Every structure is written in C-alpha cells, then in structure tokens.
Structure 1
C-alpha cells in the first residue's frame, strides 16, 4: 500500500492535516509526524538544534512514501527528499519556504508573533537559518506546489520561484487562501493532491 506522510507547520498541530487526510482515498496508508516539543508532542531534551530536529523527522521515514508538508514542514520534506531519494516518491509542498531564503521576497516576519504565542517552544527553532536552495535542482521527483493568494507569510511569488528551482514542479494558487488554507480549504487541496497522486503513482 502506498503511504502518505503529512508534516505540519511550526505550530506542530497534529490536527492541521486531518481534514485533507480524511478526504484522500482509504487505499493510502496515512501518517502525521509530530515534532518533539511542539504542539501536543512530548519534548525530547536530546534535540537541541534545528539540524537535530531535521534529522529526527527524516529518521521517521522508513519506507516508500509521498510527503505532504506545510510551512516549516516543507524544510523537513526537502531534507528527506535529498537524503532519502529512494524512499521519497513524491513531494507536495504547501505555503513553505522549502529551505530557501525569503529575504528577496515581500513577506511578513512571523518570528516575533510566533515567540509571543508559543512561549514554550525552543528559541533555536526561531533563530535557525536553513538553506537548501543550491540543492533543490537535485530533487528529480515531480513536485506539487500549493499556495494561497492571500498568504502574507509565504506569498505566491515564493511558490513561483520554487517552481523554477525544482527539476519538475507544478504550481497551483488557491483563491482566497491564507497561510492556513490547507486546513480551511481542505476540499480543493485534497483534489489537487489526489490528482497529483494519480499522475505519479
């Protein structure tokens, strides 16, 4: 059975992907990976840096799968596709930096508001600077990019740029979608993902 792994964003909210997960066919095995110390997942005090968190998430991927990732989760997804290309058979990136610098883009800075809202989360997460841009072209999968046209944190221009960085990528922009559109517009997101799965599998 083909497996879909869902990766949430920086909130670590395991329920974020539940609506889309429920709308995709039951022929797929589905797993939502949580991040220790984020959301409802118990902290792992051996994880003391963002690089270690990346290694932890990538380490959870033990079989062939398609990864569906939102926001921060896209960084883990790209890392997995680069380090485990034999297992990652597809990549769906949603409203994410994908591991590129957002400095050239007109984006809203999320860090201060995030610090205030998630006081218990590790500070090293907010200060991390991960950049996979030079390596994105090495990913040979067909990549599905989904963006919202009302997202101040990752506007469509970021998705357009990423579509040029990957060897094979297709971008769809969701009308009326803000940074949480994969949760609030689950029906159309699930349709795009299902069409993508039918194409690549």
Structure 2
C-alpha cells in the first residue's frame, strides 16, 4: 500500500499537487490523474460528461492505493472507495463536498467565477449532481478530512458533517486556510498527511501480524 493517487478539483490543475508531493515520503509512488480536456489535457473519446469522467478516473485506479483528493475531486474519490473498496485503502479529502448535497450549508456559489475563469473547460463540474450521502457509512477505509477555517466554498461545517457520516474519520482544521490551502499551507498539510500515512502503515502491519 505504497501508492498515492491524486485527484484535482474542478480546475483539473495537476500542478496543484506538486508542492505537497515534494514533501511526502519518497517510498510512496505517486499518480496524479489528469482529467481529459481540463488544464490542457487531451480529449478522450470515452469522456463526454461528468459520469463518464468518473468512470475514466475509476479505470485509472488499478492497484492498492490511498487517494488524496481536493474539492470536486473528492466526489471521484468517494466513488472509487465505494466501487473499488479492495483497492482503495484510505482517503484524504481536502476541502471537498465528498459527494453530498451542500444546499443546506452556507456555501459560496463558485460556479459563475469558475465559468468565467475556465472558458475552455467542459461544463461538467458546474452541472454535477452527485449524492453519495447514504453510502458514506459503507466506506471502511480510514478517512482523513482536512479543512481550512477561512474557506467560503467548503466551510468547516461541511467537514464536521462528513466526519459524522464516515465510520472511521478524523478532521483537522488549518488556521487561515482557504479553499486552496493544500498548496498555500503545504507544510502543515504535508505533516498531517504524513502522520496519516504512518498510522495506516502501522495499522496494516498489525493486521498482518494478526493473520
């Protein structure tokens, strides 16, 4: 279980992960999944809407791994944990909806700004309507939830709510962090992820000793 999969937010910016990856343990292999037609990635004939993009991401997960996902990428991470539970051994969800309906939370509408900033991107994220709420309790893998306390797009209340839905989750708050804190507060984020990876490694060793 020494493989990390990274899923970006709606921008599809794979370079977002570079600072964090640089501070994570070298013994872990890293796979950053690019979304076709996002952030200069080439189109793919099988990707034409949000659901097909989710299937594309799912197909890239072929070995035991821990998924680290930011913002809208968390929807794909949750989908993978549900559909490939034997491969997805852990989740790190960063400032994400986690695939739940956010209409009851006081969240900032990001869609208009997104469309204005990413004119050449497909519109799939803007129209996405995924809701995995009733299935979150089925996820057995340990979940690390990371949130910034100054994030209007996914406020701390969302992270607190998700913590209650997962069977095995911990929540950590980054002081001063906005929606992109994983890049802006990379040292704090990396430390929390490293501690989580150590915890998973120790847990796996204990399970092997029991067997």
Q: TM class, shorter-chain normalised?
A: over 0.9
Deviation beyond 4 Å, 4+ runs, structure 1: none
**Alpha-carbon displacement from aligned partner over 1:154-183 (angstroms, at most 9, x marks no partner):** 000000000001001000000000000000
TM-score by length of 2: 0.93
Other-structure match for 1:172? 172
For 1:113-128, what aligned pairs fall within 5 Å after superposition? 113-128=113-128
> Could you say which structure has the larger radius of gyration?
2
Structure 1 residue 42, shift from structure 2 partner:
1.0
Q: Distance in 1 between matches of 2:79 and 2:26?
A: 27
Structure 1 residue 122, shift from structure 2 partner:
1.5
For 1:152-191, what aligned pairs fall within 5 Å after superposition? 152-191=152-191
Structure 1 residue 45, shift from structure 2 partner:
4.3
CA RMSD between the two structures: 0.9
Q: Distance in 2 between matches of 1:9 and 1:123?
A: 13
Range with greater deviation from structure 2 (45-54 or 80-89): 45-54
Structure 1 residue 46, shift from structure 2 partner:
3.3
TM-score by length of 1: 0.98
**Alpha-carbon displacement from aligned partner over 1:19-59 (angstroms, at most 9, x marks no partner):** 11010110111111110011121122432211110000011
Give the paired residue count. Answer: 201
Secondary structure at the residue paired with 2:14? coil
Secondary structure at the residue paired with 1:170? strand
Q: Distance in 1 between matches of 2:125 and 2:78?
A: 17
Secondary structure at the residue paired with 2:61? coil
Other-structure match for 1:111? 111
Q: Which runs of 5+ in 2 are unaligned?
A: 202-211
Q: Which runs of 5+ in 1 are unaligned?
A: none
Tell whether 2:93 aligns with 1:93. yes
Secondary structure at the residue paired with 1:16? helix
Other-structure match for 2:205? none
Other-structure match for 1:135? 135
